[in-house]
Amino acid sequence: MPKPLPARLFALATALLLGACGPEDPEPASASEGQARQPLMFNGHDYLFIRSARSWWDAKAICESLGYGLVTVNDASEASWLRGFEGPHSWWLGYNDTQTEGVWRWSHGSSSYVQWQSGEPNNVGNEDCVHDNWSGRSGWNDYPCDLGQYFICEALP
């Protein structure tokens, strides 16, 4: 069951507030960053594109605090729709092997869809989290979870 409208409006207001002053920002973020947080709908799902570079762990916690999860990608149409908003940046997805090396899971929801960039995942150093659009390529790359990336939240069902 989708969350009622007031809950969604509350999540949106919180997201906008976060944009104006994130919990870990050393100083208030710019107004343009706040304006860049767009809730978007696709195929009955709603998403937040958060243009603030955070570790995968912080990104996950921020999505959860808003009643969302890190995005789960279910098929090629969702993947290409998401990519339409990514621009030149790379974005955290929920996919990760933080629990068991080599066993990839979604942090929220489930999906059998995968779209690795060729040669990935390669776990260079220690890469347990997945971002999309790395270096402008249209596939996924495993990447160190502690590095800051923009991220996409998806409303939990």
Site for ligand MAN, rule CB under 6 A:
120, 122, 124, 127, 141-143
> Considering beta carbons, is residue 38 or 123 the nearer one to Ca ion?
123
* Rounded alpha-carbon distances, angstroms, from residue 34 to 38, 75, 112, 123, 124: 9, 29, 33, 33, 34
* Rounded alpha-carbon distances, angstroms, from residue 107 to 41, 60, 152: 20, 8, 12
> Considering beta carbons, is residue 96 or 141 the nearer one to Ca ion?
141
Q: What is d(CA 156, CA 109) in angstroms, rounded to the nearest whole number?
A: 8
Name the token pair of 95. 């996919």
Binding flag, residue 142, Ca ion (CB under 5 A): yes
Name the DSSP letter for residue 126.
S
Min CB(20)–ligand MAN separation in Å = 31
Residue nearest to Ca ion (CB): 142
Name the token pair of 21. 């002053």
Min CB(139)–ligand MAN separation in Å = 11
> Considering beta carbons, is residue 78 or 120 the nearer one to ligand MAN?
120
> Considering beta carbons, is residue 30 or 122 the nearer one to ligand MAN?
122
- Measured torsion, CA atoms of residues 122, 128, 129, 131, in degrees rounded to the nearest 10: -10
Contact code string over 110-129 relative to Ca ion, x by CB under 5 A = ----------x-x----x--
Min CB(124)–ligand MAN separation in Å = 5
Name the residues that contact Ca ion, by CB under 5 A.
120, 122, 127, 141-142
